[in-house]
Amino acid sequence: MLLMESGEMYLEALYVLSLENDLVRAIDIGEYLGYSKPSVSRAVNLLKNEGFIRKDDRGFLFLTEAGMLIGKSVYERHIVLTDLFLMMGVDVETANQDACRVEHYICDKTFEAVKAYVNDHRLAPGNV
């Protein structure tokens, strides 16, 4: 299934938040993304119905296997693209904002080339 950018953002947010805390609620996602409670509630229900998120009886959210694959992939894209932009001399805030935009549209083939480039240059002498 092809998710829209907003769905990917929610899955990425849940993935990132779950790295920091085992128990994540919809309100945590809203605070992380800066979205309203009704928007988050609607998105969570859609993602739950599509099989990307599950909710326990206490209201905690968890990524399903499918949701984990997407959330982790989008987050990896964000990190690698941010690193690329930083290596190019872009300031941190702009690099993060632009990575957030590009991560949803870059094709797998191009991303793999970018990732290889970033990894090669990260390891090059003189780079930290």
Give the start-to-end residue ranges of the domains of the chain.
5-69, 75-122
Distance CA 14, CA 41 (A): 13
Distance CA 108, CA 104 (A): 10
Distance CA 122, CA 107 (A): 22
Q: What is the largest CA-CA distance in the chain?
A: 52
The CATH code for residues 5-69 is 1.10.10.10
Contacting residues for 6 by C-beta, under 8 A, at least 6 apart = 43
From its phi and psi, is residue 127 left (phi > 0), alpha (psi between -120 and 50) or beta? beta
pLDDT of 127 strictly over 80: no
Question: Residue 1: which pLDDT band, with cuts at 50, 70 and 90?
Answer: very low
Q: What is the pLDDT of residues 66-124, one digit of tens each?
A: 999 999 999 999 999 999 999 999 999 999 999 999 999 999 999 999 999 999 987 65
Q: What is the pLDDT of residues 30-76, one digit of tens each?
A: 999 999 999 999 999 999 999 999 999 999 999 999 999 999 999 99
Q: Which CATH class is domain 75-122?
A: mainly alpha
DSSP string, 14-76: HHHHHHH-S-B-HHHHHHHHT--HHHHHHHHHHHHHTTSEEE-TTS-EEE-HHHHHHHHHHHH
